[in-house]
Structure 1
Amino acid sequence: MNLFDVYPLINVTPVKALGSKLWDEKGDEYTDLYGGHAVISIGHSHPHFNQRIKDQLDRITFYSNSVHIPVQQQLAKKLGEMSGYPDFNLFLCNSGAEANENALKLASFATGKSGFISFSGAFHGRTSGAVVLTDNPKIVAPFNQRADVFILPWENIEAVENQLKVGNIAGIIIEGIQGVGGIHVPSPEFLWEVSRLAKTYGAKLILDEVQSGYGRTGKFFAHQWVEGLVPDLITMAKGMGNGFPIGGVLIHPDFKASYGLLGTTFGGNHLACAAGLAVLEVIESENLLPHAEKMGEFLISELKKISGVTEVRGKGLMIGVDLDRDAAPVRSELVSKYKIFTGSSAGKQTIRLLPPLNIGPNELSSFIGSLKEILN
């Protein structure tokens, strides 16, 4: 039996990882500036992370959500304190797409409506509902297509209000920073207006922080750069488990829970929650939010000085670098010659950078020097 061939692969086989470094089967060392799609938040094989999971393995690894699981409550309490949303409720699941699916359901249940708004360049997942709100027709099967989903122009508040006026909109979903779309940061004014209009027309605001959350931008969530903005629902995953599958939805206290409203078999299992707690503990103990902000400012500043770089977007360690040429050959050379992993995006001229939050200045300076050599 062969694997179903749906992934374009980098010709590297990592067999070991530590911090921001990877090693292949030949012993060659690589610097990871992509973190496996922003998943590696506290570095590969962090000792505290590993120990937390080992300790949990020695106690209990799994039971379903039909029993009390104290580590879930511990995670919820810690997450509430660190995120600034202690009064919100937490629903645990397994991935970002699943988190978005559950947020969409909650918005629809709460409003009694079925329509949703997202934006050009959006990526919200590949599952049945999330994929319809993703701006990529190639991955939307005929089965997924819905007439009451509207993908509107980015930063066009008039289009948002016009669609809300038509009615039947349960919610608006927007990324804290667009990731796959090429690292596009919504302006504070746009986010504020989207929030205001959602309230005015009785729609729920869903902030998709799957890629942009968990400290990546220097705030716990990217939308918190807009002071005072409070969404109805916040979705997260990726950096939440540092490689262990876990996702979640933060839910405004106005939403009413009932038995069976949402559900999952594996979501919130003992091992996943141990991993989630470890990530929060390391972010807190190592002061990674201000570190990510500082490293991001340094990296963005230096990238803007490079000839051949036409634009740099992002916040903290979520950065898009536009080149004056196709980015694919540049990324390929960064891996093959300079042993540096970077990411692609929907824009063919864009390199996406999503390194671990504890990346150091030496690794970033090495990347800057390598990119200069390639472009010049």
Structure 2
Amino acid sequence: MNLFEVYPLFDLEPVKGSGSYIFDGKGNAYLDLYGGHAVISVGHSHPYYVNMIEKQLKRLGFYSNSVINGLQTELAAKLGELSGYNDYQLFLCNSGAEAIENALKLASFHTNKEKVIAFNKGFHGRTSAAVSITDNPKIQAPVNQNHQVTFIGLNDLNALETHLKTETYCAVVVEGIQGIAGIITPSPSFLQSAEKLCQKYGALLILDEIQSGYARTGKFFAHDDTGIRPDIITTAKGMGNGFPMAGVLINPAIKPSLGMLGTTFGGSHLACAAGIAVLDIIKDENLVDHAKTLGDWWLQALAQIDNIKEIRGQGLMIALEFDFPIKELRKFLLTNERIITGSSSDPKVLRLLPALNIGKEELIRFNTALQSALNQLDSIAAAEI
């Protein structure tokens, strides 16, 4: 049986990881500045993380959500403390798309409405409802096309109010930072006004912090300094550091009903052990502040590199936009410099999403390699003219 082709693959098979590096079967080390789509939050094979999972596996790996699981309670308490959402409720599931599915379901149950406002260039997942609010027709099959979804421009308050005033929308769904789009940030004033408009017209504000959450931006959530309190927050990616895990943070005003939500594997004993380990490491290693301090330095250092059209981002969630497609640049960095970087839906934007505990020396290495790569690629291009 052959594998169903999903992504174009680089000629690299990692067999081991340590910190901000992965290794191929020949022992070659690659600097990982992408973390497998921002998933590796506390580094590959962090000793504390590995120990927590090993210890839990020896005790109990899984039982269903029909029994008490004290690890879920511990995880919820620690997440509430670090995020500042102690009073919210937590629903645990397996992936960002699943978190979005459940957030939309909650909003529709709570408001008894069915329409949703989403944003141009937004990405929320590939499952049925999640992909229907994702602005990418290439991944929407006919069965996923949902005429209850309205797409508007990010930061367009007039369009937002025009639709919300019909009072037919259950939710407005916006990313804390649009990641796949190339690190596009909603303005604080837009989020503040969106919260007020949702309250005025009876819709729920859902903040998708799946990629931008968990200290990624130098705040626990990207929206933290806006002063808003979303009705629902979705999180995933770095939550389990590679172990499939996601969560929905739910305003206490939204009352649960038994059977409203459910999951077989979500919040399993092993998943919770991974999630607790991640939160412990973020707290003990002060990774929120580290991401901000190092990210601020990196943004300034990147500004000294020639031939970058625009630099965007916060903390360790950074985009570099160029005047040319970055496919060959990524390939050059991987092959010649052994550095892994990310792409975006914009073919000219390079995404950088390293582990939160990466050191400055790794970033200096990248900056040097990037300038060298740009110089060489420029020479190659000039020779071909």
Alpha carbons 2:167, 2:202 under 8 Å: kept: no
SS at match of 2:125: coil
Counterpart position of 2:58: 58
Counterpart position of 2:69: 69
Aligned pair 1:167/2:167, yes or no? yes
Counterpart position of 1:221: 221
Counterpart position of 2:208: 208
Counterpart position of 2:378: none
Aligned pair 1:35/2:52, yes or no? no
Alpha carbons 2:95, 2:244 under 8 Å: kept: yes
Alpha-carbon distance in 1 for matches of 2:153, 2:218: 27
SS at match of 1:15: strand
Aligned pair 1:273/2:272, yes or no? yes
Counterpart position of 1:360: 359
Map residues 1-376 of structure 1 onto 2, 5 A cutoff: 1-226=1-226, 228-376=227-375
Cα shift at 1:167 = 2.9
SS at match of 1:206: strand
Q: Please, what TM-score do these two structures have when normalized by structure 2?
A: 0.97
Alpha-carbon distance in 2 for matches of 1:320, 1:135: 20
- AA aligned to 1:202 is G
SS at match of 2:11: coil
Alpha-carbon distance in 2 for matches of 1:363, 1:157: 41
CA RMSD of aligned residues (A): 0.7
Cα shift at 1:225 = 2.3
Structure 1 segments unaligned to the other structure (5+ residues): none
Alpha-carbon distance in 2 for matches of 1:302, 1:80: 34
SS at match of 2:311: strand
Q: What is the identity percentage for the equivalent residue pairs of Structure 1 and Structure 2?
A: 56
- Deviation string 1:211-268 (CA, Å, 9 cap, x unpaired) is 0000001111001021x21000000001000000000100000011111000000001
Alpha-carbon distance in 1 for matches of 2:286, 2:146: 44
Cα shift at 1:356 = 0.1
- Deviation string 1:68-90 (CA, Å, 9 cap, x unpaired) is 01101010111111110000000
Deviates more, 1:6-15 or 1:85-94: 6-15
Alpha-carbon distance in 2 for matches of 1:225, 1:111: 28
SS at match of 1:57: helix
- AA aligned to 1:331 is R
Cα shift at 1:67 = 0.4
SS at match of 1:129: helix
Alpha-carbon distance in 2 for matches of 1:106, 1:258: 10
- Deviation string 1:160-182 (CA, Å, 9 cap, x unpaired) is 11111233100000000000011
Alpha-carbon distance in 2 for matches of 1:215, 1:270: 24
Alpha carbons 2:208, 2:234 under 8 Å: kept: yes
Q: Please, what TM-score do these two structures have when normalized by structure 1?
A: 0.99
- Deviation string 1:28-69 (CA, Å, 9 cap, x unpaired) is 110000000000000000000000001101111111000001
Alpha-carbon distance in 1 for matches of 2:145, 2:200: 28
Alpha-carbon distance in 1 for matches of 2:301, 2:72: 42
- AA aligned to 2:2 is N
Alpha-carbon distance in 2 for matches of 1:359, 1:225: 24
Cα shift at 1:313 = 0.6
Alpha-carbon distance in 2 for matches of 1:323, 1:295: 23
Cα shift at 1:306 = 1.4
- AA aligned to 1:292 is A
SS at match of 1:309: coil
Aligned residues: 375
Alpha-carbon distance in 1 for matches of 2:166, 2:71: 45
Structure 2 segments unaligned to the other structure (5+ residues): 376-385
Alpha-carbon distance in 1 for matches of 2:161, 2:186: 17
Alpha-carbon distance in 2 for matches of 1:329, 1:340: 13
Alpha-carbon distance in 2 for matches of 1:257, 1:149: 25
Cα shift at 1:202 = 0.7
SS at match of 2:108: helix
Alpha-carbon distance in 2 for matches of 1:153, 1:70: 43
Alpha-carbon distance in 1 for matches of 2:33, 2:95: 22
- AA aligned to 1:342 is T
